[in-house]
Amino acid sequence: MSVRHVVLAVCAVLALAVTAGCTVHVGGADDDGVELFGEGNSMQWDLTRPLDAETLGLPADQMVVVTVPEDATVSLTLPTGTWSGSTEEMTVTTRHGYVDSVDLFWTEADGQAAADRMVADAGLLGVDTALVAQWAGTAQWAETADTNETRAKDNYNGSNGEVSTSIRPSMAVGEGAGTPVRLWYTFYVRDVVETAG
């Protein structure tokens, strides 16, 4: 194959990645996970249309751990707007050659900070705002609770068009004021893929 053909093949792959709504780091997986973040430690995906796993350098049917750089930001286009945020950990699950779900994990400083973030995101993610606002009270109870439970958790489900969502806060119980809260956001896109098919 000539150099010209190689360059054209690489350009075709990058063009497919761009039309899929993604900033892709050119290169494969390393020992720690798949590299999907691009320039400026950012990743942008359009979840309103199917994302082809092979184009993104992902296996066809598997959950993969993504290599997340420091100060990583993710932007996900949803049917009625774009969600953006920082992430510390990320997994992507593929199914039948397409992205099936995206899971993002990060830590907020305390229960109120977690509640504030969830409330800010609730409308866009189609989650009940009043319900997630109650997490501040749950976290306040968990800080000093005397119970056999080791973690306080909750799960809030919603949807934005064909993208289903889930917000799951979790924190240690009985560790006092200022206990950090781990947030886990999931974006399910199976309906996007099945509707397009």
pTM of the predicted structure, to 2 decimals: 0.82
| Contact call for residues 91 and 58 (beta carbons, < 8 A) | no
Assign 3-class secondary structure to the chain: CCHHHHHHHHHHHHHHHHHCCCCCCCCCCECCEECCCCHHHEEEEECCCCCECCCCCCCCCCEEEECCCCCEEEEEEECCEEEEEEECEEEEEEECCEEEEEEEEEEECCHHHHHHHHHHHHHHHCCCHHHHHCHHHHHHHHHHCCCCCCEEECCEEEEECCEEEEEEEEEECCCCCCCCEEEEEEEECHHHHHHHC
CB 152 within 8 A of CB 171: yes
- The closest alpha carbon to 142, from 182, 105, 88, belongs to 182
Q: Quick one: average pLDDT of 174-184?
A: 96
Cα–Cα distance between 43 and 75 in angstroms, integer?
6
Give Cβ neighbours of residue 150 (< 8 Å, ≥ 6 apart). 172, 173
- Cα separation of 115 and 136, whole Å? 5
Overall average pLDDT of the 77-101 stretch: 96
Q: What is the pLDDT of residues 18-77, one digit of tens each?
A: 333 333 332 333 445 788 998 889 999 999 999 999 999 999 999 999 999 999 999 999
Query: For position 35, what pLDDT does the model report?
Result: 86
176: number of CA atoms within 13 Å, CB side? 0
pLDDT, tens digit, 9 for 90 and up, residues 113-154 = 999 999 999 999 999 999 999 999 999 999 999 889 999 999
The pLDDT value given to residue 117: 98
pLDDT of 32 reads 53
C-alpha–C-alpha distance, residues 9 and 23, integer Å: 18
Q: Region 143-169: what's the mean pLDDT?
A: 96
